[in-house]
Structure 1
Amino acid sequence: MFNRMFGKPKQETNALATLDKLNETLEMLEKKEKVLLKKMGAEVEKAKEFTRGKNKKAAIQCLKRKKLYEQQIEQLGNFQLRIHDQMILLEGAKATTETVDALRTGASAMKAMQKATNIDDVDKTMDEINEQTENMKQIQEALSAPIGAAADFDEDELEAELEELEGAELEEQLLQPATTAPAAPVQVPAGRQPTRPVPAKHTSKEEDELAALQAEMAL
Protein backbone atom coordinates (compact mmCIF):
# COMPACT_ATOMS: atom_id res chain seq x y z
CA MET A 1 0.00 0.00 0.00
CA PHE A 2 2.71 2.47 1.03
CA ASN A 3 4.82 1.41 -1.95
CA ARG A 4 1.96 2.27 -4.30
CA MET A 5 1.42 5.64 -2.62
CA PHE A 6 5.01 6.81 -2.14
CA GLY A 7 6.91 4.60 -4.58
CA LYS A 8 9.45 1.88 -3.86
CA PRO A 9 11.69 2.18 -0.80
CA LYS A 10 15.06 3.83 -1.39
CA GLN A 11 16.95 0.68 -0.44
CA GLU A 12 15.05 -1.40 -3.00
CA THR A 13 15.55 1.27 -5.67
CA ASN A 14 19.30 1.26 -5.06
CA ALA A 15 19.43 -2.51 -5.31
CA LEU A 16 17.57 -2.49 -8.63
CA ALA A 17 19.86 0.24 -9.98
CA THR A 18 22.93 -1.74 -8.96
CA LEU A 19 21.60 -4.88 -10.65
CA ASP A 20 20.96 -2.91 -13.84
CA LYS A 21 24.52 -1.50 -13.73
CA LEU A 22 25.99 -4.98 -13.23
CA ASN A 23 23.97 -6.33 -16.17
CA GLU A 24 25.23 -3.53 -18.41
CA THR A 25 28.83 -4.19 -17.38
CA LEU A 26 28.39 -7.91 -17.97
CA GLU A 27 27.05 -7.31 -21.49
CA MET A 28 29.98 -4.97 -22.22
CA LEU A 29 32.53 -7.58 -21.09
CA GLU A 30 30.84 -10.27 -23.21
CA LYS A 31 31.07 -8.04 -26.28
CA LYS A 32 34.77 -7.35 -25.64
CA GLU A 33 35.36 -11.06 -25.23
CA LYS A 34 33.77 -11.77 -28.63
CA VAL A 35 35.97 -9.10 -30.26
CA LEU A 36 39.11 -10.52 -28.70
CA LEU A 37 38.17 -14.03 -29.82
CA LYS A 38 37.87 -12.79 -33.41
CA LYS A 39 41.23 -11.03 -33.18
CA MET A 40 42.84 -14.13 -31.72
CA GLY A 41 41.43 -16.24 -34.56
CA ALA A 42 42.75 -13.74 -37.08
CA GLU A 43 46.27 -13.90 -35.60
CA VAL A 44 46.18 -17.69 -35.86
CA GLU A 45 45.29 -17.46 -39.57
CA LYS A 46 48.10 -14.94 -40.14
CA ALA A 47 50.55 -17.22 -38.38
CA LYS A 48 49.54 -20.07 -40.69
CA GLU A 49 50.06 -17.87 -43.76
CA PHE A 50 53.49 -16.73 -42.57
CA THR A 51 54.38 -20.31 -41.83
CA ARG A 52 53.45 -21.34 -45.36
CA GLY A 53 55.56 -18.41 -46.65
CA LYS A 54 58.52 -19.54 -44.58
CA ASN A 55 58.37 -16.28 -42.60
CA LYS A 56 59.00 -17.75 -39.18
CA LYS A 57 59.61 -14.43 -37.40
CA ALA A 58 56.27 -12.92 -38.50
CA ALA A 59 54.46 -16.11 -37.57
CA ILE A 60 55.95 -15.97 -34.08
CA GLN A 61 54.82 -12.34 -33.68
CA CYS A 62 51.28 -13.40 -34.58
CA LEU A 63 51.36 -16.13 -31.97
CA LYS A 64 52.62 -13.65 -29.35
CA ARG A 65 49.68 -11.33 -30.06
CA LYS A 66 47.42 -14.37 -29.91
CA LYS A 67 48.77 -15.11 -26.40
CA LEU A 68 48.09 -11.51 -25.32
CA TYR A 69 44.51 -11.81 -26.54
CA GLU A 70 44.15 -15.08 -24.67
CA GLN A 71 45.31 -13.40 -21.46
CA GLN A 72 42.81 -10.58 -21.93
CA ILE A 73 40.01 -13.09 -22.66
CA GLU A 74 40.89 -15.00 -19.51
CA GLN A 75 40.88 -11.74 -17.52
CA LEU A 76 37.49 -10.80 -18.95
CA GLY A 77 36.19 -14.24 -17.98
CA ASN A 78 37.30 -13.63 -14.39
CA PHE A 79 35.60 -10.24 -14.43
CA GLN A 80 32.38 -11.81 -15.65
CA LEU A 81 32.56 -14.47 -12.96
CA ARG A 82 32.98 -11.83 -10.26
CA ILE A 83 30.02 -9.88 -11.62
CA HIS A 84 27.89 -13.01 -11.65
CA ASP A 85 28.83 -13.67 -8.03
CA GLN A 86 28.00 -10.08 -7.10
CA MET A 87 24.62 -10.30 -8.87
CA ILE A 88 23.75 -13.55 -7.11
CA LEU A 89 24.65 -12.09 -3.71
CA LEU A 90 22.75 -8.89 -4.43
CA GLU A 91 19.66 -10.75 -5.62
CA GLY A 92 19.78 -12.93 -2.51
CA ALA A 93 20.12 -9.88 -0.29
CA LYS A 94 17.23 -8.22 -2.13
CA ALA A 95 15.02 -11.28 -1.60
CA THR A 96 15.99 -11.36 2.08
CA THR A 97 15.20 -7.68 2.48
CA GLU A 98 11.82 -8.07 0.76
CA THR A 99 10.99 -11.02 2.99
CA VAL A 100 11.91 -9.10 6.14
CA ASP A 101 9.89 -6.10 4.97
CA ALA A 102 6.88 -8.32 4.24
CA LEU A 103 7.13 -9.95 7.66
CA ARG A 104 7.48 -6.56 9.32
CA THR A 105 4.43 -5.27 7.44
CA GLY A 106 2.42 -8.33 8.44
CA ALA A 107 3.43 -7.94 12.07
CA SER A 108 2.45 -4.26 12.02
CA ALA A 109 -0.91 -5.07 10.45
CA MET A 110 -1.54 -7.80 13.02
CA LYS A 111 -0.63 -5.43 15.83
CA ALA A 112 -2.95 -2.76 14.44
CA MET A 113 -5.84 -5.23 14.18
CA GLN A 114 -5.27 -6.47 17.71
CA LYS A 115 -5.22 -2.89 18.93
CA ALA A 116 -8.44 -2.11 17.06
CA THR A 117 -10.13 -5.25 18.38
CA ASN A 118 -9.70 -5.23 22.14
CA ILE A 119 -10.57 -8.35 24.11
CA ASP A 120 -12.81 -6.25 26.36
CA ASP A 121 -14.78 -5.11 23.33
CA VAL A 122 -15.20 -8.73 22.22
CA ASP A 123 -16.47 -9.75 25.67
CA LYS A 124 -18.84 -6.79 25.74
CA THR A 125 -20.19 -7.67 22.30
CA MET A 126 -20.77 -11.30 23.30
CA ASP A 127 -22.58 -10.20 26.46
CA GLU A 128 -24.87 -7.98 24.39
CA ILE A 129 -25.60 -10.84 21.99
CA ASN A 130 -26.43 -13.21 24.86
CA GLU A 131 -28.66 -10.59 26.46
CA GLN A 132 -30.55 -9.96 23.24
CA THR A 133 -30.95 -13.72 22.71
CA GLU A 134 -32.39 -14.17 26.21
CA ASN A 135 -34.78 -11.24 25.70
CA MET A 136 -36.00 -12.69 22.43
CA LYS A 137 -36.58 -16.08 24.08
CA GLN A 138 -38.67 -14.46 26.81
CA ILE A 139 -40.71 -12.56 24.22
CA GLN A 140 -41.41 -15.76 22.29
CA GLU A 141 -42.47 -17.58 25.47
CA ALA A 142 -44.79 -14.71 26.41
CA LEU A 143 -46.41 -14.73 22.98
CA SER A 144 -46.93 -18.52 23.00
CA ALA A 145 -48.56 -18.59 26.51
CA PRO A 146 -52.40 -19.10 26.49
CA ILE A 147 -54.53 -16.10 27.42
CA GLY A 148 -58.23 -15.53 28.25
CA ALA A 149 -60.52 -18.56 28.78
CA ALA A 150 -57.90 -20.96 27.43
CA ALA A 151 -55.60 -20.07 30.32
CA ASP A 152 -58.18 -21.39 32.85
CA PHE A 153 -58.35 -24.91 31.42
CA ASP A 154 -56.92 -27.67 33.63
CA GLU A 155 -54.44 -29.69 31.61
CA ASP A 156 -54.87 -32.77 33.87
CA GLU A 157 -58.63 -32.80 33.35
CA LEU A 158 -58.20 -32.48 29.60
CA GLU A 159 -55.78 -35.41 29.54
CA ALA A 160 -58.16 -37.56 31.64
CA GLU A 161 -61.03 -36.78 29.28
CA LEU A 162 -58.84 -37.65 26.30
CA GLU A 163 -58.01 -41.04 27.88
CA GLU A 164 -61.73 -41.78 28.37
CA LEU A 165 -62.41 -41.01 24.73
CA GLU A 166 -59.59 -43.27 23.61
CA GLY A 167 -60.92 -46.13 25.83
CA ALA A 168 -64.47 -45.77 24.47
CA GLU A 169 -63.19 -45.79 20.91
CA LEU A 170 -61.20 -48.98 21.53
CA GLU A 171 -64.20 -50.72 23.16
CA GLU A 172 -66.44 -49.82 20.23
CA GLN A 173 -63.95 -51.30 17.80
CA LEU A 174 -63.83 -54.58 19.75
CA LEU A 175 -67.65 -54.96 19.81
CA GLN A 176 -68.07 -54.56 16.07
CA PRO A 177 -68.65 -57.95 14.22
CA ALA A 178 -65.99 -59.06 11.88
CA THR A 179 -66.90 -58.31 8.30
CA THR A 180 -66.67 -61.15 5.78
CA ALA A 181 -65.12 -60.67 2.44
CA PRO A 182 -67.60 -60.67 -0.47
CA ALA A 183 -67.80 -63.91 -2.44
CA ALA A 184 -65.99 -63.97 -5.73
CA PRO A 185 -68.29 -63.86 -8.77
CA VAL A 186 -68.82 -67.20 -10.56
CA GLN A 187 -67.60 -67.26 -14.12
CA VAL A 188 -70.39 -68.62 -16.38
CA PRO A 189 -69.44 -70.00 -19.81
CA ALA A 190 -70.88 -68.17 -22.78
CA GLY A 191 -74.27 -69.49 -23.97
CA ARG A 192 -75.22 -71.17 -20.69
CA GLN A 193 -77.49 -69.72 -18.11
CA PRO A 194 -76.67 -70.33 -14.48
CA THR A 195 -79.08 -72.64 -12.74
CA ARG A 196 -80.96 -71.21 -9.86
CA PRO A 197 -80.57 -73.09 -6.59
CA VAL A 198 -83.67 -74.99 -5.48
CA PRO A 199 -84.96 -73.47 -2.28
CA ALA A 200 -85.10 -75.86 0.66
CA LYS A 201 -88.59 -77.09 1.49
CA HIS A 202 -89.72 -75.95 4.90
CA THR A 203 -91.68 -78.66 6.89
CA SER A 204 -93.90 -78.08 9.82
CA LYS A 205 -93.35 -79.50 13.29
CA GLU A 206 -96.16 -82.08 12.92
CA GLU A 207 -94.72 -83.40 9.69
CA ASP A 208 -91.34 -83.83 11.34
CA GLU A 209 -92.85 -85.84 14.23
CA LEU A 210 -94.82 -88.07 11.80
CA ALA A 211 -91.75 -88.87 9.83
CA ALA A 212 -89.88 -89.79 12.99
CA LEU A 213 -92.72 -92.16 14.11
CA GLN A 214 -92.82 -93.90 10.72
CA ALA A 215 -89.12 -94.46 10.93
CA GLU A 216 -89.44 -96.12 14.35
CA MET A 217 -92.28 -98.44 13.13
CA ALA A 218 -90.22 -99.52 10.19
CA LEU A 219 -87.49 -100.57 12.53
Structure 2
Amino acid sequence: MFNRLFGKPKQQTNALTTLDKLNETLEMLEKKENVLLKKAAAEVEKAKEFTRAKNKRGLFCCLQVTLSAAAIQCLKRKRLYEQQVEQLGNFQLRIHDQMIMLEGAKATTETVGALRTGAAAMKAMQKATNIDDVDKTMDEINEQTENMKQIQEALSAPIGAADFDEDELEAELEELEGAELEEQLLQPATAAPVPDIPANKQPVRYAPKKNTAEEDELAALQAEMAL
Protein backbone atom coordinates (compact mmCIF):
# COMPACT_ATOMS: atom_id res chain seq x y z
CA MET A 1 0.00 0.00 0.00
CA PHE A 2 2.84 2.39 0.89
CA ASN A 3 4.50 1.74 -2.45
CA ARG A 4 1.29 2.57 -4.24
CA LEU A 5 0.92 5.79 -2.26
CA PHE A 6 4.51 7.01 -2.07
CA GLY A 7 6.45 4.83 -4.48
CA LYS A 8 7.35 7.74 -6.79
CA PRO A 9 8.28 11.39 -6.18
CA LYS A 10 5.12 12.53 -7.94
CA GLN A 11 3.00 10.40 -5.64
CA GLN A 12 4.86 11.79 -2.62
CA THR A 13 4.02 15.28 -3.82
CA ASN A 14 0.37 14.25 -4.16
CA ALA A 15 0.46 12.94 -0.59
CA LEU A 16 1.79 16.27 0.69
CA THR A 17 -0.91 18.07 -1.29
CA THR A 18 -3.53 15.77 0.26
CA LEU A 19 -2.27 16.57 3.75
CA ASP A 20 -2.49 20.28 3.02
CA LYS A 21 -6.06 19.84 1.71
CA LEU A 22 -7.05 17.91 4.82
CA ASN A 23 -5.63 20.66 7.02
CA GLU A 24 -7.64 23.28 5.14
CA THR A 25 -10.81 21.19 5.46
CA LEU A 26 -10.17 20.73 9.17
CA GLU A 27 -9.83 24.47 9.69
CA MET A 28 -13.05 25.07 7.74
CA LEU A 29 -14.96 22.54 9.88
CA GLU A 30 -13.67 24.12 13.07
CA LYS A 31 -14.88 27.53 11.91
CA LYS A 32 -18.33 26.14 11.07
CA GLU A 33 -18.46 24.45 14.45
CA ASN A 34 -17.76 27.73 16.23
CA VAL A 35 -20.50 29.47 14.21
CA LEU A 36 -23.06 26.76 15.05
CA LEU A 37 -22.16 26.90 18.74
CA LYS A 38 -22.74 30.64 18.73
CA LYS A 39 -26.10 30.16 17.00
CA ALA A 40 -27.13 27.50 19.52
CA ALA A 41 -26.22 29.82 22.37
CA ALA A 42 -28.22 32.61 20.76
CA GLU A 43 -31.31 30.36 20.50
CA VAL A 44 -30.99 29.58 24.20
CA GLU A 45 -30.95 33.27 25.01
CA LYS A 46 -34.05 33.82 22.86
CA ALA A 47 -35.87 30.97 24.62
CA LYS A 48 -35.00 32.56 27.96
CA GLU A 49 -36.41 35.91 26.80
CA PHE A 50 -39.69 34.28 25.66
CA THR A 51 -39.91 32.47 28.98
CA ARG A 52 -39.38 35.66 30.98
CA ALA A 53 -42.03 37.46 28.88
CA LYS A 54 -44.50 34.62 29.39
CA ASN A 55 -44.08 34.75 33.14
CA LYS A 56 -45.12 38.41 33.34
CA ARG A 57 -48.48 39.05 34.98
CA GLY A 58 -51.44 40.42 33.15
CA LEU A 59 -50.87 38.49 29.91
CA PHE A 60 -53.66 36.64 28.25
CA CYS A 61 -53.60 32.87 28.10
CA CYS A 62 -53.33 32.84 24.30
CA LEU A 63 -50.31 35.16 24.44
CA GLN A 64 -48.61 32.95 27.01
CA VAL A 65 -49.15 29.93 24.77
CA THR A 66 -47.65 31.80 21.85
CA LEU A 67 -44.59 32.75 23.91
CA SER A 68 -44.16 29.17 25.07
CA ALA A 69 -44.35 27.93 21.49
CA ALA A 70 -41.74 30.47 20.42
CA ALA A 71 -39.42 29.34 23.23
CA ILE A 72 -39.87 25.71 22.18
CA GLN A 73 -39.03 26.60 18.58
CA CYS A 74 -35.82 28.23 19.81
CA LEU A 75 -34.91 25.07 21.72
CA LYS A 76 -35.62 22.96 18.62
CA ARG A 77 -33.31 25.08 16.52
CA LYS A 78 -30.71 24.84 19.28
CA ARG A 79 -30.97 21.03 19.11
CA LEU A 80 -30.52 21.11 15.35
CA TYR A 81 -27.42 23.24 15.69
CA GLU A 82 -26.07 20.86 18.32
CA GLN A 83 -26.66 17.91 16.00
CA GLN A 84 -24.76 19.68 13.25
CA VAL A 85 -21.94 20.41 15.72
CA GLU A 86 -21.79 16.74 16.66
CA GLN A 87 -21.71 15.78 12.98
CA LEU A 88 -18.89 18.23 12.33
CA GLY A 89 -17.01 16.75 15.29
CA ASN A 90 -17.27 13.30 13.69
CA PHE A 91 -15.96 14.74 10.42
CA GLN A 92 -13.02 16.25 12.25
CA LEU A 93 -12.21 12.93 13.92
CA ARG A 94 -12.24 11.19 10.54
CA ILE A 95 -9.96 13.83 9.07
CA HIS A 96 -7.58 13.59 12.03
CA ASP A 97 -7.50 9.83 11.65
CA GLN A 98 -6.78 10.12 7.93
CA MET A 99 -4.02 12.69 8.53
CA ILE A 100 -2.36 10.48 11.15
CA MET A 101 -2.42 7.53 8.75
CA LEU A 102 -0.98 9.57 5.88
CA GLU A 103 1.76 11.11 8.05
CA GLY A 104 2.65 7.69 9.44
CA ALA A 105 2.75 6.21 5.94
CA LYS A 106 4.92 9.09 4.74
CA ALA A 107 7.37 8.67 7.63
CA THR A 108 7.52 4.92 7.04
CA THR A 109 8.14 5.38 3.33
CA GLU A 110 10.89 7.93 3.94
CA THR A 111 12.52 5.60 6.47
CA VAL A 112 12.39 2.67 4.07
CA GLY A 113 13.80 4.85 1.29
CA ALA A 114 16.66 6.01 3.50
CA LEU A 115 17.45 2.44 4.51
CA ARG A 116 17.32 1.33 0.87
CA THR A 117 19.70 4.14 -0.10
CA GLY A 118 22.09 3.21 2.70
CA ALA A 119 22.02 -0.45 1.71
CA ALA A 120 22.74 0.44 -1.92
CA ALA A 121 25.66 2.64 -0.87
CA MET A 122 27.12 -0.10 1.29
CA LYS A 123 26.72 -2.60 -1.53
CA ALA A 124 28.49 -0.25 -3.94
CA MET A 125 31.36 0.24 -1.50
CA GLN A 126 31.68 -3.50 -1.01
CA LYS A 127 31.89 -3.98 -4.76
CA ALA A 128 34.53 -1.26 -5.04
CA THR A 129 36.56 -2.68 -2.14
CA ASN A 130 37.04 -6.43 -2.27
CA ILE A 131 38.24 -8.24 0.85
CA ASP A 132 41.03 -9.87 -1.19
CA ASP A 133 42.24 -6.44 -2.26
CA VAL A 134 42.27 -5.29 1.36
CA ASP A 135 44.33 -8.31 2.44
CA LYS A 136 46.73 -7.79 -0.45
CA THR A 137 47.13 -4.11 0.40
CA MET A 138 47.83 -4.90 4.06
CA ASP A 139 50.45 -7.50 3.06
CA GLU A 140 52.17 -4.95 0.84
CA ILE A 141 52.15 -2.38 3.63
CA ASN A 142 53.65 -4.87 6.10
CA GLU A 143 56.32 -5.90 3.58
CA GLN A 144 57.29 -2.29 2.85
CA THR A 145 57.40 -1.55 6.57
CA GLU A 146 59.75 -4.49 7.20
CA ASN A 147 62.00 -3.47 4.29
CA MET A 148 62.20 0.09 5.56
CA LYS A 149 63.06 -1.18 9.05
CA GLN A 150 65.93 -3.25 7.66
CA ILE A 151 67.20 -0.29 5.62
CA GLN A 152 67.17 1.95 8.69
CA GLU A 153 69.03 -0.63 10.76
CA ALA A 154 71.65 -1.01 8.02
CA LEU A 155 72.14 2.76 7.76
CA SER A 156 72.40 3.24 11.52
CA ALA A 157 75.12 0.55 11.96
CA PRO A 158 78.71 1.98 12.32
CA ILE A 159 80.90 1.56 9.24
CA GLY A 160 83.53 -1.20 9.59
CA ALA A 161 82.59 -1.98 13.17
CA ALA A 162 82.58 -5.70 12.45
CA ASP A 163 86.18 -5.65 11.02
CA PHE A 164 87.92 -4.99 14.37
CA ASP A 165 88.26 -7.12 17.49
CA GLU A 166 88.19 -5.13 20.70
CA ASP A 167 90.31 -7.72 22.57
CA GLU A 168 93.04 -7.55 19.95
CA LEU A 169 93.07 -3.76 20.12
CA GLU A 170 93.40 -3.86 23.93
CA ALA A 171 96.31 -6.33 23.70
CA GLU A 172 98.10 -4.19 21.11
CA LEU A 173 97.69 -1.11 23.30
CA GLU A 174 99.20 -2.95 26.28
CA GLU A 175 102.23 -3.95 24.17
CA LEU A 176 102.78 -0.35 23.09
CA GLU A 177 102.59 0.89 26.66
CA GLY A 178 105.04 -1.79 27.82
CA ALA A 179 107.54 -0.98 25.07
CA GLU A 180 107.35 2.73 25.87
CA LEU A 181 107.97 2.10 29.57
CA GLU A 182 110.92 -0.21 28.84
CA GLU A 183 112.48 2.40 26.55
CA GLN A 184 112.22 5.04 29.26
CA LEU A 185 113.87 2.76 31.83
CA LEU A 186 116.80 1.91 29.53
CA GLN A 187 117.72 5.59 28.92
CA PRO A 188 120.81 6.64 31.10
CA ALA A 189 120.28 9.37 33.68
CA THR A 190 122.64 12.35 32.87
CA ALA A 191 123.24 15.23 35.26
CA ALA A 192 123.90 18.72 33.96
CA PRO A 193 127.27 20.31 35.08
CA VAL A 194 127.07 22.91 37.83
CA PRO A 195 128.74 26.19 36.73
CA ASP A 196 131.06 28.16 39.06
CA ILE A 197 129.20 31.05 40.61
CA PRO A 198 131.14 33.93 42.23
CA ALA A 199 130.37 34.58 45.86
CA ASN A 200 129.37 38.17 45.35
CA LYS A 201 126.98 37.39 42.51
CA GLN A 202 123.59 35.86 42.58
CA PRO A 203 122.88 32.99 40.23
CA VAL A 204 121.19 34.02 37.06
CA ARG A 205 117.72 32.57 36.62
CA TYR A 206 117.04 31.52 33.06
CA ALA A 207 113.51 31.40 31.77
CA PRO A 208 112.34 27.94 30.85
CA LYS A 209 112.89 27.17 27.24
CA LYS A 210 109.68 27.11 25.27
CA ASN A 211 108.71 23.94 23.45
CA THR A 212 109.21 23.95 19.75
CA ALA A 213 106.58 22.87 17.25
CA GLU A 214 108.12 19.41 16.95
CA GLU A 215 108.03 18.91 20.72
CA ASP A 216 104.38 19.95 20.78
CA GLU A 217 103.51 17.41 18.10
CA LEU A 218 105.43 14.72 19.99
CA ALA A 219 103.57 15.53 23.21
CA ALA A 220 100.23 15.37 21.45
CA LEU A 221 101.15 12.01 19.89
CA GLN A 222 102.16 10.60 23.27
CA ALA A 223 98.84 11.78 24.75
CA GLU A 224 96.92 9.97 22.00
CA MET A 225 98.93 6.79 22.54
CA ALA A 226 98.20 6.96 26.25
CA LEU A 227 94.46 7.08 25.49
Instruction: Supply the distance in 1 between the matched residues of 2:13 and 2:91 (Cα, whole angstroms).
Output: 25
Instruction: Supply the distance in 1 between the matched residues of 2:158 and 2:23 (Cα, whole angstroms).
Output: 88
Q: TM-score, normalised by structure 2?
A: 0.61
Q: Which has the higher contact order (CA 8 A, sep 6+)?
A: 2
SS of corresponding position for 1:69: helix
Instruction: Supply the distance in 2 between the matched residues of 1:156 and 1:26 (Cα, whole angstroms).
Output: 105
Q: 2:163 matched to 1:152?
A: yes
Paired position in structure 2 for 1:15: 15
Instruction: Supply the distance in 2 between the matched residues of 1:155 and 1:140 (Cα, whole angstroms).
Output: 25
Instruction: Supply the distance in 2 between the matched residues of 1:9 and 1:155 (Cα, whole angstroms).
Output: 86
CA shift for structure 1 position 155? 5.0
Equivalent pairs counted in the alignment come to: 153
CA shift for structure 1 position 142? 2.4
CA shift for structure 1 position 12? 2.8
Moved over 6 A (4+): none
Q: TM-score, normalised by structure 1?
A: 0.63
CA offsets 1:88-112 (integer angstroms, 9 cap, x no match)? 1111111111111111111111111
Q: 2:64 matched to 1:53?
A: no
Instruction: Supply the distance in 2 between the matched residues of 1:59 and 1:157 (Cα, whole angstroms).
Output: 138
Distance 1:13 1:157, change over 3 A: farther
CA shift for structure 1 position 157? 4.8
AA matched with 1:17: T
Instruction: Supply the distance in 2 between the matched residues of 1:35 and 1:68 (Cα, whole angstroms).
Output: 13
CA offsets 1:16-72 (integer angstroms, 9 cap, x no match)? 212111111110000000000111111111111222232111111111111110110
Superposed CA RMSD: 2.2
1:50-199 equivalences in 2 (<5 Å): 50-54=50-54, 55-148=67-160, 150-155=161-166, 157=168
Instruction: Supply the distance in 2 between the matched residues of 1:71 and 1:107 (Cα, whole angstroms).
Output: 54
Structure 1: tracts of 5 or more residues without a match:
1-7, 165-219
SS of corresponding position for 1:53: helix
Instruction: Supply the distance in 2 between the matched residues of 1:19 and 1:93 (Cα, whole angstroms).
Output: 12
Distance 1:156 1:36, change over 3 A: farther
Instruction: Supply the distance in 2 between the matched residues of 1:157 and 1:65 (Cα, whole angstroms).
Output: 131
AA matched with 2:81: Y
Paired position in structure 2 for 1:25: 25
Instruction: Supply the distance in 1 between the matched residues of 2:91 and 2:168 (Cα, whole angstroms).
Output: 108
User: Which has the larger displacement, 78-87 or 29-38?
Assistant: 78-87
User: Which has the larger displacement, 67-76 or 13-22?
Assistant: 13-22
AA matched with 1:151: A
